[in-house]
Amino acid sequence: MDITCISDLHGHYPKLDGGDLLIIAGDLTARDTINEYIIFFSWLGKQNYKKKIIIAGNHDNMIEDGLDFDFPEMGIEYLCDSGTEFEGLKIWGSPWTAFFQGVNPYCRAFMIAENLLANKWDEIPQDTDILITHMPPHGILDMTIRNEHVGSQSLVYKIGSMVNPPKLWVWGHIHEAYGRDQPIRNKPCIMVNASHVNEHYLPINPPIRVIL
């Protein structure tokens, strides 16, 4: 299966090559306005994939507030603590990230305290093949420009405790930690921070292609 992974678009919509599955892991627009969502979905609808899956991120306040969209005719599916299947693979999506002091008040969608995140991760099914989160796990592709690991400890515990971890795990949120990693507690899992923009919100990181 040919999968394109991208996250943290923040209003930048690159040319994509097409394939089987497109995964977008949150932060879809620049300023979270209706007009920008119209532009985003117009761009998304033109992408040449059999299935397109999106989740929200902490910048996507209008989605948390109930923005209504349903585009099955374009192969678009939105996941929020929910799952779907595609060509025999079980896929789960979750938008939650950890709240922290000083966060921009306009960027608090789906943010809760770290000690509450474990309840959200508990909903991830044990048989998940592809996991999409906006939050990174602690210590893996989550380092900020201040050299701090800011990912979720409870998310690491959840996935590390699974008998069969996902084959692919895609996230974003920490722009400067873009990249791809392989091991999680010596279990095979392709892990991708697919942030399209860097820490200066410049769209310099290309989509990451994964073959499953």
Task: Return the HEC string of 145-158.
Answer: CCCCECCEHHHHHH
For 105-135, how does the pLDDT look when each residue is reduced to its tens digit (9 = 90+)?
Answer: 889 999 999 899 999 999 999 999 999 999 9
- Name the band, by pLDDT with cuts 50, 70 and 90, for residue 14: very high
In b/e form, how buried is each residue of 64-75, taking b as 16+ CB within 10 angstroms? beeeeeeeeeeb
| Average pLDDT value for residue range 14-43 | 96
Say how far apart CA 137 and CA 14 lie, in whole Å. 26
Mean pLDDT for the chain overall: 94
At the top level of CATH, the class of 2-211 is alpha beta
- pLDDT exceeds cutoff 90 at 157: yes
Query: What pLDDT does 69 receive?
Result: 74
Provide CB contacts within 8 A for 195, sequence distance 6+. 7, 8, 172, 173, 174, 175, 176, 177, 178, 205
- pLDDT exceeds cutoff 80 at 101: no
| Average pLDDT value for residue range 138-161 | 94
- pLDDT exceeds cutoff 90 at 159: yes
- pLDDT exceeds cutoff 90 at 171: yes
- Name the band, by pLDDT with cuts 50, 70 and 90, for residue 45: very high
Q: If you count them, how many residues does the chain have? A: 212
Using an 8 Å Cβ cutoff, are 27 and 10 in contact? Answer: yes
Per domain, the residue ranges of the chain are 2-211
- Name the band, by pLDDT with cuts 50, 70 and 90, for residue 185: low
- pLDDT exceeds cutoff 70 at 193: yes
Structure tokens at 63: 């989605």
Share of the chain above pLDDT 90, in %: 86
Query: What pLDDT does 15 receive?
Result: 94
Burial class (CB in 10 A: 0-12, 13-18, 19+), 15: exposed
